[in-house]
Amino acid sequence: MIRRATTISVWLAALALGISSCSRTPAPVAAAPDQEWPAYGSDAGGQRFSAAVQITPANVRGLKVAWSFSTGDLISRAGDIKHSAFEDTPIMAGGRLYVESPFNEVFALDPASGRELWRFDPHVDTRVRYGEGFTARGVAWWRDPAAPAAALCATRIFLNTNDRRLIALDAATGKVCAGFGRDGQVDTAADIQLDRPGAMQITSPPVVARGVVVVGSAVADNQRVKEVSGAVRAFDAVTGAVRWRFDPLASANPPIVAGAANVWAPMSVDEARGLVFLPTTSPSPDFWGGLRKGDDGDADSVVALNIETGDKVWAFKTVHHDVWDYDNPAQPTLAMVAWQGVAQPAVLQPTKQGLMFTLNRDSGRPVIPVEERPAPQGGAPGESLSPTQPFPVAPAPLASNVIRPEDAFGLTPWDKAQCQRKIAGARHDGLFTPPSVGGMIEYPFTGGGSNWGGLAFDAGRQVAFVNTSSAMHLVTLIPADKVQAARRAEPDVEISPQTGAPFGMRREVMRSSLGLPCNPPPWGQLHAIDMRTGRILWAVPLGTTEDLARGSQFVLPHAGAPNFGGPIATASGLVFIGAALDNYLRAFDGATGRELWRGRLPAGAQATPMTYVWKGRQYVLIAAGRHSKTGTKAGDQVVAFALPG
């Protein structure tokens, strides 16, 4: 259900890439019209696109740091920051920037200087340990159309917290909206009994439209069959009163024994249609589904709900009977897509499998055709696999999904032979190979393909930009009575009980003893897809490992690196992205895929950037602060780049 980036820093530790960049200073640029970034994905539909054109392929090399802002976490949270991931995408609305720290502190900043205007601390208990660590991807901004413009809380900031609260703040002052819930907050999981406080959290921002705030959740992976419900909840944006509840598993026929199927990734809204779009996840537990016969209801689906009532309008399943943790990890992107010359309102959903589904926004039917193809069979005892799985006919898979022993990667014949033996010793029949007690290769691994960074869409050019990671997991089922002994024998390996199932599970990234991945590079890529034809226009390696492997004797050009975060696109033809496991923000030419610029950052940038124009000047911002599961450098800064003049 929740993404995993297990031990990536270990198996990348021997790599080092280096690409020089130019630093010419262009002539001063003219002032540009102001442009905001009022939602997590720029617009409520998550296109991650800006009409800004001041920064162009011709002058992007002149970008310099304009200002930076520190949340203070390196000092105030020094003992806890190692358990955090700074994945925030700031928003810019109403003439202010809003930043959220991994510990759910919210800061209002001046857009020109980064000067702090106010801050709010919800005082999350840092003694609790969550499955995803302390993580927050952003906040939501909303203007109450019924309130006088000058009234307190006429404009609101909504934030979700790791400890499952939804809080409403006055956007002008940062004070809580006392009339919302109880003292400005509601407990979104008040009806849920958790076996431990960290079993459920909220990592992505809420969405708000038509006076309704919608909230998802992240549920810990692989712990039990009878997991807590992953139901999505909606609240009145003014009062905090419960409006509706939607459980993706309620539609399962026959009824199943399972929980989760939650929505941990960001959601999207089409306010004109009154629809909210959910990327749902797999039911519990991830790797054995013998007690949930059938298709798992609306788990592993893109689901469209009426935002005012919670009624289901349609659902489209991207995985049947998921036993691979292949949940939908990214915000569904809403766009007009001109497939084969016919413009349609669409939903674009990238997946961990490296596939991308394109669906009609009104009906859920595929815009780009989807085929049901035979899937590998022969699951673990008690399992009941789907005979087929859905594959879009275009674009082609964006991540490799077939490996043979002779494909193994190695720097030397010795470590290559190691990987060959590992690959030969596990079952692999391609995508959707079922888990087994003998071990199966899951390729791509559960970190993607695509992950929570999603995609960027340039509607004018009809091009989608998507970043992917490429690695393999070895997943092994362990008889339930041997799980505890296995955990004692390998305390540093991920081994989970899946209580209530006949099997626990063991999961690790496949690598040689040199720490290198066993699958061939590139291990990270950025792709451009023509949505009129489904053709991949270009695919280029993304990222280096210089910040993970300083002093290494190995130099592997074009290897790329796994990445967490997403791209943004601008009308000038640029694509900006951090995400890779190094300390850089990059700019690519959207037409060719050529890397035009990179800006050095003080820490890991496993986040999605944003851009805005304020008082005639365009800024590009990214959170630089680390990703706890990848070992990138810790930090607490938001860094803004701009052209001089």
Give the DSSP per-residue string, 483-549.
HHHHHHH-TTSEEE--BTSSEEEEEEE-B-TTS-BSSPSPSEEEEEEETTTTEEEEEEE----TTTS
Active site (catalytic) residues: 325
Could you tell me if 98 and 158 are in contact, meaning their C-beta atoms sit under 8 angstroms apart?
no
Could you tell me if 276 and 209 are in contact, meaning their C-beta atoms sit under 8 angstroms apart?
yes
Phi, psi of 283 (to 5 degrees): -75, 170
Token pair for residue 196? Answer: 């431990």
Q: Is 76 helix (H, G, I), strand (E, B) or coil?
A: helix
Beta strands in 280-355 (DSSP E): 301-306, 312-317, 333-339, 342-350
> Cα separations (Å) of 429 from 245, 247, 383, 418, 504?
39, 33, 17, 20, 22
DSSP-assigned beta bridge partners for residue 46: none
Phi, psi of 241 (to 5 degrees): -65, 145
Those residues whose C-beta lies under 8 Å from the C-beta of residue 127, and which sit 6 or more positions away, are none
Distance CA 102, CA 29 (A): 35
pLDDT at 632: 84
Full 3-state SS string of 410-471: CCCHHHHHHHHHHHHCCECCCCCCCCECCCEEECCECCECCCCCCEEEECCCCEEEEEEECC
Nearest to 562 by CA among 603, 508, 519, 524: 524
Distance CA 382, CA 502 (A): 9
Those residues whose C-beta lies under 8 Å from the C-beta of residue 520, and which sit 6 or more positions away, are 400, 407, 408, 409
Q: How many CB atoms lie within 10 A of CB 548?
A: 24
- CATH, range 8-400+414-642: 2.140.10.10
| Cα 429 to the center of its chain, rounded Å | 27
**What single DSSP character describes residue 39?**
B
pLDDT at 2: 38
pLDDT at 186: 98
Q: Pairing relation of β-strands 268-270 and 242-246? A: unpaired
Helices (H), 131-225: none
- Kindly list the averaged pLDDT for each block of 10 residues, start to end, along the chain of length 645: 38 34 55 94 98 98 98 93 95 98 98 98 96 96 96 98 98 98 97 92 98 97 95 98 98 94 98 98 97 95 98 98 98 98 98 98 98 97 97 98 96 94 98 98 96 97 98 98 97 96 97 89 97 98 74 67 96 97 95 97 95 98 86 91 93
Distance CA 189, CA 192 (A): 5
> Cα separations (Å) of 622 from 25, 567, 638?
22, 11, 6
Token pair for residue 206? Answer: 């809420």
Distance CA 498, CA 50 (A): 44
Token pair for residue 146? Answer: 């019924």
- pTM of the predicted model over 0.85: yes
